[in-house]
Amino acid sequence: MKTLPLLLHAVILSLAIGITITVVLVSSRRRSAPGATSLIVFALALIIWAISDFLYRAGVSPIGKFWLSATYLGATVVPTALLTFSIEYAEHGYYLNWRKLALFTIEPLLTQALFWTDPWNGLFFAGKGVQTIGAVPYSSPWLRINAIYSYSLMLIAVILVLQIFSHRLGTYRLQSGAILAGALVPILAGIISHAGFNPTPDLDLMLIAYTITGLAFIYGLVHYRLLDLAPVPRDLVIERMVDGWVILDKKNRIVDLNPAAEVLIGSPRHELFGQPADRILRDWPNIVKRFADDPMTLDNDGSMSVRDEWRYLNIRLHPLMNWQGHLIGHTVIWRDITERRKVEEARQRARDEMFVLLRAIYGAASRAQNTDDFLTASIYQIVYTFQSKSCLILLKERKDYEHGSDRLLLAAHHGLSVEAASSMSSVMIKSDMVAWVLENQEPFFIPDISTDPRVPESMQAAGQLSLLIIPMFVEENLLGLIGISREGSSPYRTDEIARITALAEEIASFISTDRRRQLTIALAERQRLVRDLHDSVTQKLYSLVTMTEVAQARLDAGLETGSEVILVQIFSRIGEYARQALKEMRLFLFELQPINLEREGLVTILNQRLAAVEGRADIKARLLADDNISLSLEKEVALYYIAQEALNNILRHAAAKSVNIHLKQGKVNVLLQIEDDGCGFDPKRDDKGGMGLRNMRERVSQIGGKMKIVSTPGKGTRITVIVGKDRRSKARPRWR
């Protein structure tokens, strides 16, 4: 063999080895990618072909048919591997099952069988022995069949890759272009070889061509990331879309649709082909008329029956234009929004329920007289809304110095047994459940309290219940806990936990606000009492001490003429100051007692006041009131404080012997009149009226009433207040 052809074969062999190593290394790392296995088979077959052809031409022992047989093996496997790769690359890999792959092995195996049995069949070398044109003989019957078969495989591969090349854009187009160029080279080489224009008669032109194909594959692997950036098949995406789509022609007839649309419409594709759009849009009769002649995009929601079930659908219609801008049809896209609609409706129901619940809680807060009443009303709302069996609210106690730790006290509960309520009346913050909630600052859920050791035994006896514990925080400080239980078969959902958590925040806010309000009221009342005690009782006691010391000094100095009269006057003043101090103390004691106008009514509270203060101060007090007086709570409160201010002034300044209060009801008004027989005053002098009269006038103005004061020095005082009657207010019972 000449040196130059042998050198060229060595170059081809080196390229084949490099191609094989590169393809095997890259493809083995991406074996899951479509076509990776076919590329590995292609590279291995190519190197077998190149090595055996080189050794056959170099005359390396064993010489003869062995190397030529290996050459034919590689030459028949390479085009087969090229075709299977093209099928997978063209997004048709689902056709390649094991049975079809086994069919592709028939031709290479049959070639080997005919090669080794040629002395008996004469189909391979046609009885002429091993005679070759270049390296491979083409004159025998089987080799002609093999050539036609191989070229057919290559032609199919080129057609498949060409289809992909024509539909792809960007990097994918360049990627498929490299593969297409590599697949065309063997076909061109075969045409040149059979036309008699082989420029290298001593070389196998097809081996060179497939080597170039391998180089094209390597270029695609390295430069365009073949097997790494594998496009998703468009046909597969469109065919398997969850949304249904229907293609209408210019006459609004159905020409195509996907399986999802078949399910929504309820008819197979072959029955709908060519049918008018009215058949699938019968639930939207006006849509077809609107877009029949006008290329517009429509978007509409509606419902239709699908397999005996009503589904909510969003339907969109888009016009289809050709490259000249002429209308050629429409695309109808059906989107099943049933689940989304159900979620939206569930959210709306949850919002409505939350709104109603919060409104009920706010109503309970406005009506409640104290925190206990509010918590009791809130618990009933929680149990009813969330269909629970029991509920409890624990509130944090201030530092318990006697026990050395903080505690949570049971503030309200519903559905707890006596034993459970007793055991939960005081819970240490260091207990397992509370400590976990305090550490994580989030709801704590126990699926079954009957088996959980963290739950008190008295609660475990309630049976198989799920327990949800919601913390109540105010400014990141634990205020308390809400515990709510339900039958174990239906635990609390995530949305329910979110709503209970929001509700716990509102309850905590109310409790905190109420506590601050009560503290503010207590501090203000304490300051008022200190001021009043200083201005009245303290002054009276100081005068008593002074007068007593004066009397004691006169007694120590001895009685002189006329001293008895002075001592009588001093002791009279002492008795007067003592009685006045006693009146003031009784007044303060009465004011320290809580009153409940809403529960007991104005008449009852006034009677209690007259009995507790004026009655014990040797003042004849009388209340004359009509039955069934119709006043709102706001006006009753105002009239009470007006009467209280007037009575306080009488007690402190008037030195009256009797007080009469009249509460009369007319057709449209209610009259409150307070009359005493005291020392009286001049109403025209504001400095005599003081803050008390100004407060009374402000309260009368706030309820839209009128006030008249008649007083003469030495002849007593009469205060008259007139307010409008409230017809819708419930009349309160009269107590005497």
Give 114's contacts (C-beta < 8 A, 6+ positions apart): 121, 123, 124, 142
- Least confident segment among 384-398, 462-476, 534-548: 534-548
With beta carbons less than 8 A apart as the criterion, state whether 45 and 88 touch: no
With beta carbons less than 8 A apart as the criterion, state whether 245 and 265 touch: no
- Mean of pLDDT over the chain: 79
Per-residue confidence (pLDDT) for residue 735, from 0 to 100: 40
Give 174's contacts (C-beta < 8 A, 6+ positions apart): 224
Residue with the larger pLDDT of the pair 1 and 297: 297
Pick the CATH number of 368-492 from 3.30.450.40, 3.60.110.10, 1.10.3720.10, 2.40.10.10: 3.30.450.40
202 to 5, 67, 137, 214, 482: CA distances (angstroms): 7, 17, 13, 22, 94
Per-residue confidence (pLDDT) for residue 403, from 0 to 100: 43
With beta carbons less than 8 A apart as the criterion, state whether 649 and 692 touch: yes
Per-residue confidence (pLDDT) for residue 291, from 0 to 100: 59
Look at residue 470 and tell me whether its pLDDT is greater than 80. Answer: yes
Residue 137 gets the label, from left (phi > 0), alpha (psi -120 to 50) or beta, of beta
Write b or e for each residue in 264-289: b if 16 or more Cβ atoms lie within 10 A of its Cβ, otherwise e.
Answer: bbebeeeebeeeebeebbeebeebbe
Look at residue 538 and tell me whether its pLDDT is greater than 70. Answer: no
Per-residue confidence (pLDDT) for residue 118, from 0 to 100: 78
Determine the average pLDDT of the residues in 300-317.
76
Say which amino acid occupies 310. W
- Least confident segment among 38-52, 340-354, 387-401: 387-401
Distance CA 571, CA 584 (A): 20
Per-residue confidence (pLDDT) for residue 727, from 0 to 100: 64
Highest-confidence segment of 6-15, 301-310, 371-380, 595-604: 371-380
Residue with the larger pLDDT of the pair 57 and 700: 700
DSSP state of 136: B
Determine the average pLDDT of the residues in 510-526.
78
pLDDT digits 0-9 by tens, 637-647:
889 889 888 88
pLDDT band at 129, cuts 50/70/90? Answer: low
Residue with the larger pLDDT of the pair 546 and 206: 206
pLDDT band at 128, cuts 50/70/90? Answer: low
Distance CA 35, CA 38 (A): 5
Per-residue confidence (pLDDT) for residue 579, from 0 to 100: 66
Per-residue confidence (pLDDT) for residue 400, from 0 to 100: 43
Determine the average pLDDT of the residues in 348-371.
79
Pick the CATH number of 241-336 from 3.30.70.260, 3.40.50.1860, 3.30.450.20, 3.20.20.70: 3.30.450.20
Q: Which CATH architecture has domain 3-223?
A: Up-down Bundle (1.20)
Percent of the chain topping pLDDT 70: 79
Look at residue 230 and tell me whether its pLDDT is greater than 80. Answer: no
With beta carbons less than 8 A apart as the criterion, state whether 335 and 254 touch: no
pLDDT digits 0-9 by tens, 571-584:
677 776 676 666 66
- Least confident segment among 138-152, 220-234, 240-254, 586-600: 586-600
Look at residue 319 and tell me whether its pLDDT is greater than 70. Answer: yes
Percent of the chain topping pLDDT 90: 8
Residue 183, both tokens: 């697949």
> How far from chain centre, in Å, is Cα 660?
66
pLDDT digits 0-9 by tens, 725-734:
876 555 554 4
pLDDT band at 541, cuts 50/70/90? Answer: low
Determine the average pLDDT of the residues in 497-507.
87
Per-residue confidence (pLDDT) for residue 688, from 0 to 100: 47
With beta carbons less than 8 A apart as the criterion, state whether 334 and 277 touch: no
Per-residue confidence (pLDDT) for residue 717, from 0 to 100: 92
With beta carbons less than 8 A apart as the criterion, state whether 724 and 705 touch: yes
- Least confident segment among 46-50, 295-299, 647-651: 295-299
pLDDT band at 165, cuts 50/70/90? Answer: confident
Determine the average pLDDT of the residues in 668-680.
91
pLDDT band at 287, cuts 50/70/90? Answer: low
Give 314's contacts (C-beta < 8 A, 6+ positions apart): 299, 300, 301, 334, 335, 337
Residue 138, both tokens: 């083409």
Say which amino acid occupies 284. W
**CATH class as words, domain 597-724:** alpha beta
